[in-house]
Amino acid sequence: AAVSWYDEFQRLYDTIPCVEVQALKEHSDQVLHLSFSHSGCLFASCSKDCTVKIWSNELDISLQHSSNMRPYNWSYTQFSQFNSDDSLLLVSGVFVGPHNSSSGEIAVISMENFTLLSRVRNKPYDVFGCWLNETNLISGNLHRIGRITSCSVLWLNNAFQGVESENVNVVKRLFKIQNLNASTIRTVMVADCSRYDSPDLLLDYEEQLAASSTSPCPIFDLGSDSEEGEAKPQQPAEPAGPEQPDDGDVAAEDGLQRFFDDIMEGRVRAAMTESELETRVAELFLRNRTKPPEPNLLPTDSSSKIKYLIFTTGCLTYSPHQIGIKRILPHQMTTAGPVLGEERRSDEFFDSLDHVIDIHGHIIGMGLSPDHRYLYVNSRAWPRDCVISDPMQPPPIAEEIDLHVFDLKTMKEVKRALRAHRAYTPNEECFFIFLDVSRDFVASGAEDRHGYIWDRHYNICLAKLQHDNVVNSVAFSPVEQELLLTASDDATIKVWRSPRTVRIQQAGKPRPRKLLFSWLLNQKS
C-alpha cells in the first residue's frame, strides 16, 4: 500500500517504537511476560516475584492493581492473556505441590473487581494455557506411560467453576495425544482461521498479485502414511530377520504381535537399547490405537468459526522441535456433553495431529500475526546432519536465534529466517523468549540484553532496544503499533514509542521558557 519510496523511508525511520519514554520498576524480580488487552487500555505483567500486575495504558502508564499468588502456593507467574472481551484475565504460573514437586496452575481473574474466579491445574507448567473463546480456556495434563513415553491430555475448562447445578459441565477433554522419546506438548495457542482470505498483510508477493481470487480455509487431510512421514522419528536399522511391510499390507496389531514374537524368539538384534525398544512398541501401539484425522467437516457457512490448536511437540527428543496443529471443530468449543468428551472405541485411544511442522531445532518462542494468518517461531538450530541416538541427549543448539515465518493457510515457510538476536543457555536450561507481531513489525526478546524489531515487509532489523539483562518478552499495543513494551530480568518494563509519537506528545506540552517569558511580560505590564 506504499505510495512512494520516500513514504516508505519515513515509515521505517519515523514510526518504529525505539525511543524509551518510561521505565516501570514496580516488580521486585525478573519480569517474564507482558500481554495487552484487546482494547489496548490495559496490559498485564508476570514476574518471578509471584505477582501479576495490571497497568493502565495512558499517556503516562500507571499501576492499577497487583495480585500476589504466593498464598496459593505459586512459585512465580509466567504468562497472562485477556479473553476476547477483556472481562477476564488468564494467569499461568508454577505451582509448588507436595514434596516440593512443581507443576503448573492457571488462575482466572475478573477485570471488574480483580477477584479470583477459578483455578485449574496445568501440567507441565510450560503448556501455559490459552483462551478458546470468551468463557472457555485450554489447559494440559501429562500421564507417564513408560520411561520416555507419555500421554498429553488437553482439557477445555469453563472459566466460571462455581456453577449452581451439578449437572452443568465445567471441564471436558479435548484431545489425547501420545508422546514419544520424552517429548511433551507445550505452549498451546489458538488461531482463528476465519480471516485467512482477507489478511492484514500478505507476505508472499505472488499471492499478493492473486489476492483478488479467494478460496475457503484449507483442510489438511493427512492419512496415516503422510502423517507418519512427517512425525515418525528416525529409528536405527531394523533387526535382522524378515522385513515387515510398512504400508498397510500387515495390520498394525499384527505388526505389534510379530515384533513381540521376534523378541521372544531372539530375532531382535541385541544392540537395541531399552529406550529404543520402548519407542518401537509405543509406535506400533500408537499406529493401531489412534483416531484418524477428521474428515472434511468444514461447514459451508462462511461465518462458522473454525480454529486451530497450535502447540510445540517433538518425536526425537525431549526438547520441543516440532509444531503440532489440530483443528478444533465447532461442536468441540463448549464443555457441554459427556464430562470426559466423546466415547471412544478401543482403536481410537489417541487423537492424531492434522499437521506437523518440523523446525530442526529447539523452539523457544511462538507468536501469531494480528490476523492469525502467519505463525512466527523463535528457534535455535541443531547441526545440519545431526543424528539423535539418545532422546535424553538432544543435539547442541546454536547461539543465533532464527525467527521463522509460516503461512497457516498453506502450512509452508514463506520468509527466510530473520536473524540478529542471540541466546546462550544450553538445552537443559533453555527458556521461552516471547515475541509479538503487529501489522508491519515483529519484535522479540533475546538473551543478549536487547529487544529487537524487524520490518515484516523487508525482513530487515530496524532497532535494538537495550536493557541491563535478558529480555524475556515484548508486546505491541494492539491499537497502536508505535507503542511497544519490553520486559527483562533486570526487573523493569520499558515503554518505547516512535519518534513521530514523541514529537506529537512534546508539541502538545507547554514549554517552560515560553511560560516564563509570558509571566515576565505580564509583570512588566
Query: Is 225 domain-assigned?
Result: no
With beta carbons less than 8 A apart as the criterion, state whether 483 and 501 touch.
yes
Query: Is 217 domain-assigned?
Result: no
Encode pLDDT of 79-100 as tens digits. 999 999 999 999 999 988 776 6
> Number of structural domains, the chain?
1
Query: Is 175 domain-assigned?
Result: yes
353 vs 128, 168, 176, CA distance in Å?
20, 29, 10
Query: Is 498 domain-assigned?
Result: yes
- Residue 302 has a pLDDT of 42
Q: Residue 318 and residue 315: Cα distance in Å, rounded?
A: 8
Confidence tier at 46 by pLDDT (50, 70, 90): very high
Strands 290-291 and 350-351: what pairing?
parallel
386 vs 328, 381, 397, CA distance in Å?
35, 11, 11
Q: Residue 404 and residue 23: Cα distance in Å, rounded?
A: 30
- Residue 508 has a pLDDT of 72
With a CB cutoff of 8 Å and minimum separation 6, the contacts of 167 are: none
Confidence tier at 345 by pLDDT (50, 70, 90): low
- Residue 326 has a pLDDT of 95
Q: Residue 245 and residue 251: Cα distance in Å, rounded?
A: 9
> Torsions phi, psi of 507, nearest 5?
-65, -30
* Cis amide prior to 124 (ω within 30 degrees): yes
Query: Is 239 domain-assigned?
Result: no
- Residue 121 has a pLDDT of 93
Query: Is 205 domain-assigned?
Result: no
- Residue 448 has what DSSP assignment? T
Cβ count within 10 A of residue 4: 8
Amino acid 409 reads K
**Exposure string for 136-163, b = 16+ CB within 10 A, e = fewer:** bbbbbbbeeeeebbbbbbbbbbbbeeee
- Residue 170 has a pLDDT of 82
What is the domain range of residue 307? 14-197+302-504
CATH number at residue 163: 2.130.10.10
Checking if the pLDDT of 492 tops 80, the result is: yes
- Residue 263 has a pLDDT of 62
Q: Residue 488 and residue 317: Cα distance in Å, rounded?
A: 29
> Torsions phi, psi of 240, nearest 5?
-65, 150
Confidence tier at 335 by pLDDT (50, 70, 90): confident
Cell 525511543, residue located: 19
Encode pLDDT of 311-327 as tens digits. 999 999 999 999 999 99
Query: Is 272 domain-assigned?
Result: no
- Residue 245 has a pLDDT of 40
Q: What is the 3-state secondary structure (H, E, C) of 48-105?
A: CCCEEEEEECCCCCEEEEEEECHHHCEEEEEEEEECCCCCEEEEEEEEECHHHCEEEE
To which H or E segment does residue 312 belong?
Answer: strand 307-313
- Considering only CA atoms, which of 24, 332, 303 is closest in space to residue 156? 332
**Radius of gyration of the chain measured on its C-alpha atoms:** 25
Query: Could you give the count of Cα atoms lying within 13 Å of 402 in the half-sphere of its Cβ?
Result: 19
- Residue 142 has a pLDDT of 95
Query: Is 63 domain-assigned?
Result: yes
Query: Per-residue pLDDT averaged across 242-266, rounded?
Result: 54
